[in-house]
A and B are shown apart, each in its own frame.
Chain A
Amino acid sequence: MADVTLTWPKNYNEVPKAAFTRSDLYADEIKRIFHGPEWHPIAHESELPNPGDFKTMRMAGIPLLISRDEAGVVRVFYNACSHRSNQLETAVMGNKTEFECPYHRWLFNAKGDLVGCPNPREFLPGFDKADYPLGQPRFELFYGLIFVTFSAETEPLDEFLGEAGETLRELMAGDGRLKLLGYQKVRYDSNWKGYNDNDGYHAPLLHAAFKMLNWQGGKGRQYTCTKRGHVCFESALSVASGPSVLKDKELIAFKGQDPSVGSRIVQLFPTFVSTKHLDVINLRFATPVDAETTEVHYAYFAHQDDDAEMVRHRLRQSSNLLGPCGLISMEDASIFHRIHIGSHTPGNAIFQKGVRDPGKLESEFLQNDESGNLPRWEYYRSAMGFERAEA
């Protein structure tokens, strides 16, 4: 029995707008989805390349500390002291092999062991430091991409990813041996589902840049996989040709080796989006902040084998092409906001493009079909325990 209820339309291509806007759904979403049996990418290990490197972040409110110990092993901890749960590390990133809580001076090593605490003779009889390591969520790595789950019920990561794993591997340069270039971080005034439903891919009609750059796209495969409806796009790269309004054409140049894996998008339920386009490799770590705010950390990468010129090219392309201020994507960010505002109206959002039968879900789509989002919506409905109206 659902804690909150929302009647879902009978047609698979209709989504109640209330799903984006009803604030009473949010606590249940956190419980059932974000703290439930889902895997959440939170970092790529190349963000912490050296022994002692760490990163902190929050996923659905939960503070996390990802650290690499002196031996090079990466672990994920709750970023909270095992004593009274004071936030342990405040820096967003850095290098430390020990973490000291300033409140009562409990000291932890990068393996999470409690290695020191003052005056333990005054503690509970039988107090043993070995009983108080930093707490850890379950985590797994996939080609360096670090996933956490807060539920013991979640299936192994390989099963969670399904066929999307192969596309994700290709997206991360085939081997996941990445090198961090930096971040663009932004908050959107959008419910997390508004972000998720409209990032990744959508009609190129939005993007005037494609037309103005003589850039033709739209030839490729879109598929969904697993019961969660992860959405993947695989296309050979199309490179702009003909006259362009740009004076610096390097922005849209492709210098990679293999155009057949030139364009990849992997969107995993619930909020992760990743994309490889031209020479941009971009992992978007997104989390709900509240029912009306989604924070997205766009992390950009080069490959470890790149020479200096290629790193420079990726840096120049990544900064200006695909992020919240990017030439061909700034408008996306605006759509997240506008969808959120517009959804405060009665009725359902009705998906059209690519829908052949509103009574059926499919798993193969054309690249520009919007119907690729529908399996994910069906999973959301079932995860939330919402009943679909009778046909």
Chain B
Amino acid sequence: MTATIPELETAIDRLLLADANALDSKDMPGWLANYAEEDQASYYCRAAENTEHNLELGFMFDDCRARLEDRVTYVNEIWAGTFQDYRTRHFVQRVSHRQVDARTVEVVSNFSVFMTPMDAGVTQVLAAGRYLDTMRLSDDGGAKLLSRRAELDTSVLPRYLVYPI
């Protein structure tokens, strides 16, 4: 597929917004559906502070599709009913992209996530940072995440995380 730049940007933005929408809707199967159907599909969430010091450890380290599927199980089955639930609102903005080959594009975007605990009802910032994404492009003009690294500027989180950032 040879996409024009506007077509490519539209595909990227659709995927970024679909992911934000799935997360803010707590739709974990919908979140998973934004990832490519490839074994190496991955999601990482970690403090940029770790990355800058060559420390790979993260808050979430889902380096294969099986772990992405397990994360749906964590949230929907294993953890159900044990935590103080909270709403999130993801604001995401593409800042750069680079097409690697006909099927692959690397995308950097900024994000900020607001959190509103259901019990307290007071909104605060949960995290800010960058998504470093590798996306797979399909023939129909769509895009899926092959790899996402949520790199948090927020090195000290204001609470535990239930949902991916």
Interface residues of A in 307-346 (CB under 8 A from B): 315-316, 318-320, 323-325, 327, 330-331, 333-334, 337-338, 341
The interface centre, meaning the residue of A93, A209, A247, A319 with most chain B CB atoms within 10 A of its CB, is A319
A327 to B72, CA, bound (A): 11
B78 and A324 form a contact (CB under 8 A): no
**A residues in contact with B119, CB < 8 Å:** 341
Q: 1/0 per residue B43-56: CB within 8 Å of A?
A: 00111011001011
- How many B residues face the partner with a CB closer than 8 A? 38
Q: Given A320-B67, A338-B84, A182–B56 Cβ distance below 8 Å?
A: yes
Contact B70 A330 (CB under 8 A): no
Q: Tell me whether B77 and A245 are in contact (CB under 8 A).
A: yes
B141 an interface residue at 8 Å Cβ cutoff? no
Write out the residue numbers on chain B whose beta carbons fall within 8 Å of the beta carbon of A315: 56-57, 61
**Nearest chain-A residue to B63 (Cβ)?**
A316
Chain A proximity of B121: nearest CB distance (Å): 13
Contacts of B60 in A (CB 8 A): 319-320, 325
B57 near A208 (CB under 8 angstroms)? Answer: no
Interface size on A, residues (CB 8 A): 39
Stretch of B16-24, B130-138, B156-164 on the interface side: B156-164
CB pair A185–B82 under 8 Å, yes or no, is: no
Instruction: Report B-chain residues with C-beta under 8 Å of the C-beta of A331.
Output: 79, 82-83
**Chain A residues touching B, majority SS:** mixed
Q: Please pick, from A182, A247, A337, A338, the residue contacting B50 in the complex, using a CB distance under 8 A.
A: A182
- Whether B162 and A330, one on each chain, are in contact in the complex, defined by CB atoms closer than 8 angstroms, is yes
A199 in the interface, Cβ–Cβ < 8 Å? no
Does B59 sit at the interface, judged by CB under 8 A? yes
CA distance A330 to B81 in the complex (A): 12
Tell me if B57 and A183 are in contact (CB < 8 A): yes
Which residues does chain B contribute within 8 Å of A209, judged by CB atoms? 78
The list of the 4 closest CB pairs from A to B, nearest first, reads A182-B57, A319-B61, A182-B55, A333-B160
Interface residues of B (CB under 8 A from A): 45-47, 49-50, 53, 55-64, 66-67, 69-70, 73-74, 77-80, 82-84, 119, 155-162
10 contacts between A and B (CB under 8 A): A182-B53, A182-B57, A186-B160, A187-B157, A246-B70, A315-B56, A324-B157, A331-B83, A333-B83, A334-B83
18 new A-B contacts at CB < 8 Å, known A247-B69, A324-B59, A325-B160: A182-B55, A186-B156, A186-B157, A186-B159, A187-B157, A189-B159, A208-B79, A245-B73, A245-B77, A245-B78, A247-B70, A295-B156, A316-B63, A320-B67, A325-B162, A334-B84, A334-B160, A337-B159
